[in-house]
Chain A
Amino acid sequence: MAGSSGTSPSGEDTFPKILLRNAKVFGSRTAFREKDYGIWQSWTWSEVCEEIRAFSIGLKSLGLEQGDKIAIVGANRPRLYWSMVAAQALGAVPVPVYSDSVAEEMAYVLGHAEVKFAVVEDQEQVDKLLSMSGEVPTLKDVIYDEIRGLRDYDHTHLHSYESVQDKGRALQAENGSLAGEWEKGFAGGKGSDIAVMLYTSGTTGRPKGVMLSFDNLAISARNANVFDHLDETEEVLAYLPMAWIGDHVFSLAQAFTAAYCVNCPEGMDTIDVDRREIAPTYFFAPPRVFETLLTQIMVRMEDAGKTKRAMFNYFMDVARKVGEKILNGETVAFKDKLLYKLGEFFVYGPLKNRMGLTRMKVGYTAGEAIGPEIFQFYRSLGLNLKQLYGQTEASVYITLQPDGEIFGDTVGKPAPDVELKIADNGEVMYRSPGVFVGYFKNDEATEKTKTPDGWVHTGDAGIIAENGHLKIIDRAKDVGKLNDGALFAPKYIENKLKFFPNIKEAVAFGHERDMVAVFLNIDLTAVGSWAERNNVNYASYQELAAHPDVYAMVESHVDQVNRDLSREPMMAGAQIKRFLILHKELDADDGELTRTQKVRRSFIAERYDPLIEALYDGSTSKHIRTEVTFEDGRKGAIEATVEIRDMETHDPGKGYQEAAE
């Protein structure tokens, strides 16, 4: 961190201070909206300031003190965001927690963080906290937002959000100088104080509490705002988990520093409508969201009339040809420009409108590699979608794609104030003002990740291309070798597979084995719609996945991937020899995916060991029985006989020829 803050835009260094500034400078601008009770309830910055002050003073009267940890559990709601700043104003540290994580996971996090208070959304979360009282002995009081179902609970240590605020207001009314005292309380706060603790749901081991300081967040946020010219007029949609660094930075750090408006949707089932209504100007989504949107578009267009589909395809071709060029400001033929304008009216405009991205100034995707076709699709519509590469430990930003320098296979140049280098083992390392303070109560891990001079190991293998852009290949530890010595980058292969809308998830095996073999999950929406059109009857995912026609279709996709791989000298040796379609969808409830929907490779390998064995012993099918957890928490088991297919591989030389033609 040393010395790098000098170049960043200056300003108030903690969020409570920034709040006061916003209330003063942007007092009448809308700061938060929440779709609740059918309309977008709105709060201006000065209202938000009052709300936070009242709650903060109320918290203080309940006994929240400097250095205390306060858990935040629930879906994106203004009140939960405010709680964080209210806690920060008292010098306490908010710990946002994934609200949908299973009880034991949450109990570990809360216990490890030694939280004293918790602000939660509703009865469900209160019950969850009650059930884990043994593991979280420090927990003293719980504050909830929604009273429903909680009326009959004992309220000695349970408080409604309103009651805490009311207390704060009453105290202020009693003592006119309290507001001033409250402000004085955090006036002395420093940028180097811990602002927040975020637990990373690593793919292995227990979650680690990443401590970020105000400087980390505020400087990174200001840098990002400057980089993309964001100001107080932006609208963002806060819909990603609050415990995730991305949401924390986009919906809080950047929102406060730029004073733009944060919109909380009504619920996850209305998210599409809510996005359309708000039409965010600054939008972030993991590739998965863009994939889903695109799949929806394609599925719906399949059902459209012939003429309409022809028109759609025609204009999409036009967009593919010139869309990105126009977005990048390159000159194109007049006729193409005209056609693109027409397309904008008939297709692109309406599409953007349906997706609610009409007003998007800049959008980012990160977390995983996005399929080049998907990425290109959005950009060709005229949407300034970019990729970034980041981590919790970096307060998100490591590299960003600058406007006009967008390449599908790279994740951009170092963000402002970020230094980047590739370690000898190929691992990407960085140093920036956003670099975290340390892991909470885990110095060992801190030392392993952060060097004494501030460089952080990302754990990703990558290269810096000639143009200065970073290219990520895989997790550093995941890159392996086949027995014949060929390079095996599982994620690379998996991503190629997942770029087919029909394939939802892929897990590749091959490290220290003779050949590459993969598990696949089909996408129920896409394949289901295909099945409907082709009169394929099915009762369940399992039945559809085992259907011979589905297998044939997937086989053609795998073949296409092999063809692609054969064209790349580095990867040609790692073509897929065998594959199977899993009899169930990989699910976070079963521990197969992380809460951010990444596959947990080792867990899956263990769980489906018989299947892996079958992949490598040459058998053509295998019976398996799997335990599953249903949505309501009940356990059950499903059984199936899974078919395994062999694949032809392509000759690298031939691939080259084809590519050359």
Chain B
Amino acid sequence: MNAFATDMTTAPDGSAEAAAREELLRVDNVSLSFGGVKAITDISFDILKGEIRAIIGPNGAGKTSMLNVINGFYHPQEGTITWQGKERRKMKPYEAASQGIARTFQNVALFKGMTTLDNIMSGRSLKMHRNFFWQLIWRGPAEAEEIEHRRKVEDIIDFLEIQAIRKTPVGRLPYGLQKRVELGRALAMEPDLLLLDEPMAGMNLEEKEDMSRFILDVNQEFGTTIALIEHDMGVVMDLSDRVVVLDYGKKIADGPPEDVQADQNVIDAYLGVSH
């Protein structure tokens, strides 16, 4: 029997699981309302380092609002958010970004006037520091910095297999590829937490499979913690380690996918049983 194959089959994969995962983010009793309309009511949950956490729920359940709270776009009226052990208050979106939270959007929010390459380069903005005067001269430090980051961006392009569209303006790309570029842009930020708002919305089966593979690869290759909103239950069950279920702005279930799937509240919510 050949040595190569016998040894290969015992590849270790329990190492990551074995170590108790530490908490990356915790949301405590968060409530959010717009002019009296409650979007989120008293929600608490946590996200552990290295996991894929899904947030699901019917339309209007407050999922996107939840992401917006996490990355500082909305400020909750009540409750606290603890990020990497520190409680934070009123954080601006760009501060969230600089602390390692990146996200993609439900409706692709790429920079339409730029190429794929520039869009992903834009994800490096926070990591580039050459000031205006170096930029004016370009030659020297500014150029060197640009090249350094270009190289990193090329890694992402390679990773997402979008070489052929590197210099195509993103507006001309089909939807599925735009979503991929958007993921690339978020990855370029080298985030600790990656928020994905319906990464597979509007995709066909093949594109969904590709995207699922990329999400898993991101999680495994870079160890990035991922929180994702998704409608496709099959995808959620396959991808996520733990699932939070929201309905009408309230948390109705939380746990591993198989538990959540069996939860009566969840079933009722999805079948539209009235409260």
Contacts and interface: CB of A to CB of B under 8 A. Distances in A.
A500 B234 CA distance: 47
Interface of B: 1-13, 117, 150-151, 154-155, 157-159, 163-164, 166, 217, 220-221
6 closest Cβ contacts across the A-B interface?
Answer: A133-B5, A37-B154, A157-B4, A154-B11, A156-B7, A269-B164
Interface string A127-171: 001100110111111100000110111101110000000000000
Given A133-B2, A148-B221, A152-B220, A157 B163 contact: no
Contact of B4 (A38, A133, A273): A133
A141 B12 CA distance: 18
A154 B163 contact: no
Given A38-B154, A38-B157, A266 B163 contact: yes
Contact of A38 (B7, B10, B166): B166
A153 B11 contact: yes
Given A37-B154, A133-B2, A270-B164, A151 B221 contact: yes
Nearest to B206: A632
A157 B150 contact: no
A152 B3 contact: no
A139 B158 contact: no
Interface of A: 36-38, 129-130, 133-134, 136-142, 148-149, 151-154, 156-158, 266-267, 269-270, 273
Given A38-B150, A157-B7, A151 B220 contact: yes
A2 B221 CA distance: 57
A134 B164 CA distance: 38
Nearest to A36: B158
A211 to B, nearest CB: 24
B166 A154 contact: no
30 contacts: A37-B151, A37-B155, A37-B157, A37-B158, A38-B117, A38-B157, A38-B163, A38-B166, A130-B8, A130-B9, A133-B5, A133-B6, A133-B8, A134-B5, A137-B1, A138-B2, A139-B4, A140-B2, A142-B4, A148-B217, A151-B220, A152-B11, A153-B11, A154-B8, A156-B3, A157-B4, A157-B7, A157-B8, A158-B8, A266-B163
Nearest to B217: A149
Contacts of A269: 163-164
Contact of A141 (B4, B10, B221): B4
B3 A157 contact: yes
Contacts of A136: 2
For B8, B13, B157, B158, the residue with the greatest tally of chain A CB atoms inside 10 Å of its CB is B8
B5 A139 contact: yes
A152 B6 CA distance: 16
A157 B5 CA distance: 8
A142 B151 CA distance: 28
B60 to A, nearest CB: 36
Query: Chain B contact residues: over half helix, strand or loop, or mixed?
Result: helix
A629 B151 CA distance: 39
A277 to B, nearest CB: 12
A138 to B, nearest CB: 7
Contacts of A133: 2, 4-6, 8
Nearest to A147: B221
Contacts of A154: 7-8, 10-12
Contacts of B157: 37-38
A152 B164 contact: no
A157 B3 CA distance: 8
A153 B8 CA distance: 7
Contacts of B150: 38
Nearest to B157: A38
A153 B154 CA distance: 25
Contacts of B13: 152
Contact of A140 (B3, B11, B117, B151): B3
Contacts of A38: 117, 150, 154, 157, 163, 166
A130 B6 CA distance: 9
Given A139-B4, A154-B12, 10 more contacts: A38-B117, A38-B150, A133-B6, A136-B2, A140-B3, A149-B220, A149-B221, A157-B4, A267-B164, A270-B164
B181 to A, nearest CB: 15
A152 B2 contact: no
B116 to A, nearest CB: 11
Nearest to B7: A156
For B5, B157, B220, the residue with the greatest tally of chain A CB atoms inside 10 Å of its CB is B5
For B10, B217, B221, the residue with the greatest tally of chain A CB atoms inside 10 Å of its CB is B221
Nearest to A37: B154
A456 B220 CA distance: 54
A260 B26 CA distance: 61
Contacts of B151: 37
A128 B159 CA distance: 20
B14 to A, nearest CB: 10
A270 B157 CA distance: 14
For B13, B163, B221, the residue with the greatest tally of chain A CB atoms inside 10 Å of its CB is B163
B177 to A, nearest CB: 12
Contacts of A142: 4
Contacts of A36: 158
Contacts of B11: 152-154
A151 B218 CA distance: 12
A270 B220 CA distance: 28
Contact of A267 (B6, B12, B155, B163): B163
Nearest to A130: B8
Contacts of B154: 37-38
B68 to A, nearest CB: 33
A82 to B, nearest CB: 20
Nearest to A35: B163
A511 B6 CA distance: 52
Nearest to B4: A157
Contacts of A148: 159, 217, 221
Contacts of B4: 129, 133, 139-142, 157-158
A137 B2 contact: yes
Nearest to B150: A38
